[in-house]
Amino acid sequence: QVQLVESGGGLVQAGGSLRLSCAASGRTFSRYAMGWFRQAPGKEREFVADINWSGTNTYYADSVKGRFTISRDNAKNTGYLQMNSLKPEDTAVYYCAAGDRTVDLNYWGQGTQVTVSS
């Protein structure tokens, strides 16, 4: 089993910033691809960003490109999502996911709530 625990969510005003963390345990994180997804109540879960195992390749949804930055620290078995210039439409539960490759992120965290007020 691989456990993923998100943290760093909270309430922020529009234009503000938050940094989410995803702490992994259960096996080495160094070779995992990982990503972030988000889901608002009554809506489908949507892709936000992902990153390969080495941290050299990243991909973002158009809605967050230029505002969010995904990164990782393999020595700490932790992934991050830096969220800047937050908008009310960014409000959602944010989930960390990991897997052997970006196309199959099969391990999930419990989610952390991000609320952006206008």
Cα separation of 99 and 79, whole Å? 13
Per-residue pLDDT tens digits for 40-74: 989 999 999 999 988 999 999 999 999 999 999 99
Task: Identify each DSSP E strand in 1-118 by its residue range.
Answer: 3-7, 10-13, 18-25, 33-39, 46-51, 58-60, 68-73, 78-83, 92-99, 107-108, 112-117
DSSP state of 101: B
Average pLDDT (22-37) is 87
At which residue do the structure tokens 């996911």 appear? 97
